[in-house]
Structure 1
Amino acid sequence: MRKLLFLLLIALLAVVGCGNNETEDASAPAEKEEGTDDLTPVKFALDWTPNTNHTGIYVAKEKGYFEEQGLDVEILLPGEVRVNQLLAAGKADFGISYQEGLTQARSEGLPLVSVAAILQHNTAGYASPVDKNITEPSDFEGKKFGAYGSDLEKAMMTTLMENDNADVEQVDFITTGDSDFFVAVERDVDFSLVYYGWTGIEAELRGVDLNMVYLADFADELDFYTPIIATSEEMISANPETVEKFTAAAVKGYEFAIDHPEEAAQILIDAEPDLNPDLVKRSQEWLSPRYQDDAERFGIQEKERWQKFADFLLENEIIDEAVNVDDAFTNEFLPEN
């Protein structure tokens, strides 16, 4: 059924063209804009509203790192069709994805590949106002959780609670979807899963004290790479030089953000003026040292961590078939420094 739905989606994309009149292919460059005749056009899709997970891409574009590599990069804002589907259909060449989403996509037949980890460790965790007294997984019992409604959510929480000798069935899952976290925890729920680098920093600015229970602190298999830079097997096969050039420029952009968080934040603010500048600056200050963290170089990915999480998904029946993680990621295109 999943493969049938995927085929139907591809057919739909071919018809609507994601807003274009003609179907495009990842291996066939789009029409070049005036003044960029000597540059290869590349489409990069964001997963969410522009934020500091994306800063390195904006830096690479503003600083001319992509142009130095002979690339004219267009940043696509998120729409109704998600990044993984855009990549698989050839409607985007690269994009922001997540290890959890890419692994599930590969299990469903979408040949996607991660070429770089944006963050070395998972910064997602269960956030709650301090007056809820939720400081460890066992405290989830008897509480209301603001959920998106996915099987993966419950599997992750089950793992953390079992490791803490607690029962996930004692948690009330309430589907809140994309509701504002601060409204939800004040009105509807006790805690929810967030990325501290954005929502946690916003809480600091609002003067809201939070307790955080990080996934990675309570289960090694949940220290997965999120977010990541992804592309398709077709792109790697047809245009390996473009993949190498794009990755080199993107890495340079993130390395700049590591060394110059203030300037990098301002580049993102200038490019996306609707963002809260205080939030961007504080978030960038918090996130910049976590891009590379304890890795030998930015972007590197370890097979062991991909395998642990793939096994977790299979054991919890989130995916139906085992995924060969050697095909799901590569460090081949990262610059050697």
Structure 2
Amino acid sequence: MAIRPIALLASAALLAGCGGSGGDDATTATTGTAPVKRTALALTLDFAPNAVHAGLYLARQRGLYRDGGIDLTINVPGSGADGTRLLAAGRSDLAIMDIHDLAIAREKGADLVAVGAIVQRPLASLIAAPGVSRPRALEGRRVGVTGLPSDDAAVDQIVRGDGGDPRKVRRVTIGFEAVPAVLGGRVAAATAFWNAEGVAVKARRPKARIFRLDEFGAPRYPELLLVSTSKLLARRGDVIQRFLAATAAGYQAAATTPTAQSQIVIDALQKGSGDKTIDPSTTADQLKAVTPTFLDREGRALAIDRAAMARWARWEAHVGITKRAPDVAKLIWKDAPGG
């Protein structure tokens, strides 16, 4: 379920300057002791900068990429499909992708490999108006979907998981307009990410309901993944390892920063992205919601749980997002963190 804020549209122009590292380009920086070679890497986000990207900007602000010998460029996409397209064209070295988009792209033959997990659980949900007490109450009512296959699967799972009949739900394609559609009463509920659109709706309608996918029978899986290509990993796996180490440290810091000090993380996000549309209050609420998902049960950032991914793969095919269960062994880089 690739859901992105409306603010993304205003950021599309930033993509014009994006490009991959151009192979093995490197620059030399001089420290107090000896010259250090730095390799350029380009990362494409999944949507406009927000709380879920906090670890990246915090790591960059603290010089963790520089210390790891990396010059990291973070690019904002013009559409949810940009990560796949730019990786395939060699114009980006890494991208953050929704797990379902990755599975569908691989099924179509794309050379994409997951190297780390940004979050450790699904972010997909149904955001419902205050009058909707539970998912099965959506029978006979209008529910907004973006039109992506994963949206229909989410509606089916959540309604069926509550004992309802998803065939009785009246689905309406609303694109990425979940927040105004629910607030304006056009739909009784809509598919959206609970950490972003869910936070926005609750801020305006505190009694709104959020029905999370994995609370209604779906397995736990990492919704957002860091993705590269097998070709780049074969050539520059050591650089990706250094990138992952720095990024994991950034997400560790974001996850363990006390709520009372969240402005430290917000400042890194605002200044690092240069996005003046980022609202500190909204971002603070988003951080409070999403930071618990940054670490796995062992307290590790970016770790990919292979057993959890195997359960997800079976579910992915069962609900019809893909025709066959994704091959987890091929989907995940052999040197990716986790176990």
Which of the five TM-score ranges fits, normalised by the shorter chain? Answer: 0.7 to 0.9
Relative to 1, partners in 2 of residues 1:133 and 1:163: Cα closer, same or farther, differing over 3 Å?
closer
Identify the residue that residue 94 of structure 1 maps to in structure 2.
Answer: 94
8 Å contact 1:262–1:285 — kept in the other structure?
A: no
Query: How much does 1:319 deviate?
Result: 2.2
SS in 1 for 2:195: helix
Identify the residue that residue 66 of structure 1 maps to in structure 2.
Answer: 65
8 Å contact 1:266–1:281 — kept in the other structure?
A: no
Distance in 2 of aligned mates of 1:169 and 1:207: 28
Q: 1:224 aligns with which of 216, 221, 225?
A: 221
Query: How much does 1:289 deviate?
Result: 2.6
Q: Compare 162-171 and 97-106 and name the one that shifted more.
A: 162-171
Query: How much does 1:26 deviate?
Result: 6.4
Letter in 2 for 1:232: T
Distance in 1 of aligned mates of 2:121 and 2:101: 16
SS in 2 for 1:298: coil
1:146 aligns with 2:149: no
User: Please, which runs of 5 or more residues in structure 1 have no aligned partner?
Assistant: 1-17
1:134 aligns with 2:128: no
Query: How much does 1:262 deviate?
Result: 3.4
1:112 aligns with 2:115: no
Distance in 2 of aligned mates of 1:164 and 1:289: 25
8 Å contact 2:249–2:301 — kept in the other structure?
A: no
Query: How much does 1:287 deviate?
Result: 2.1
Distance in 1 of aligned mates of 2:28 and 2:169: 54
Q: 1:164 aligns with which of 151, 154, 162?
A: 162
8 Å contact 1:83–1:95 — kept in the other structure?
A: yes
Relative to 1, partners in 2 of residues 1:27 and 1:143: Cα closer, same or farther, differing over 3 Å?
same
8 Å contact 2:155–2:191 — kept in the other structure?
A: no
Distance in 1 of aligned mates of 2:308 and 2:325: 15
* Residues matched between the structures, number: 314
8 Å contact 1:144–1:189 — kept in the other structure?
A: yes
8 Å contact 2:157–2:218 — kept in the other structure?
A: no
SS in 2 for 1:292: coil
Distance in 2 of aligned mates of 1:163 and 1:282: 28
Relative to 1, partners in 2 of residues 1:117 and 1:203: Cα closer, same or farther, differing over 3 Å?
same
TM-score (norm 1): 0.84
Identify the residue that residue 212 of structure 1 maps to in structure 2.
Answer: 210
Q: Compare 116-125 and 46-55 and name the one that shifted more.
A: 116-125
Identify the residue that residue 284 of structure 1 maps to in structure 2.
Answer: 287
1:203 aligns with 2:198: no
Letter in 2 for 1:146: G
Distance in 2 of aligned mates of 1:195 and 1:319: 21
Identity, % of aligned positions = 20
Identify the residue that residue 297 of structure 1 maps to in structure 2.
Answer: 300
Identify the residue that residue 334 of structure 1 maps to in structure 2.
Answer: 337
Query: How much does 1:180 deviate?
Result: 5.0
- TM-align CA RMSD: 2.8
Distance in 1 of aligned mates of 2:231 and 2:267: 35
Tell me the alpha carbon deviations over residues 215-272 of structure 1, each in whole angstroms, 9 at most, x when there is no partner.
0011133x22111211111121110111101101110111111122431122112233
1:268 aligns with 2:263: no
Query: How much does 1:335 deviate?
Result: 9.2
Distance in 1 of aligned mates of 2:288 and 2:157: 31
Distance in 2 of aligned mates of 1:20 and 1:112: 23
Distance in 1 of aligned mates of 2:245 and 2:338: 6
SS in 2 for 1:243: helix
Distance in 1 of aligned mates of 2:168 and 2:119: 33
Letter in 1 for 2:84: N
Letter in 2 for 1:215: L
Query: How much does 1:165 deviate?
Result: 3.1
1:190 aligns with 2:193: no
Identify the residue that residue 12 of structure 2 maps to in structure 1.
Answer: none
For residues 299-318 of structure 1, the aligned pairs below 5 Å read 299-318=302-321
Query: How much does 1:318 deviate?
Result: 2.9
Letter in 2 for 1:292: L
SS in 2 for 1:75: strand
Identify the residue that residue 252 of structure 2 maps to in structure 1.
Answer: 255
TM-score (norm 2): 0.83
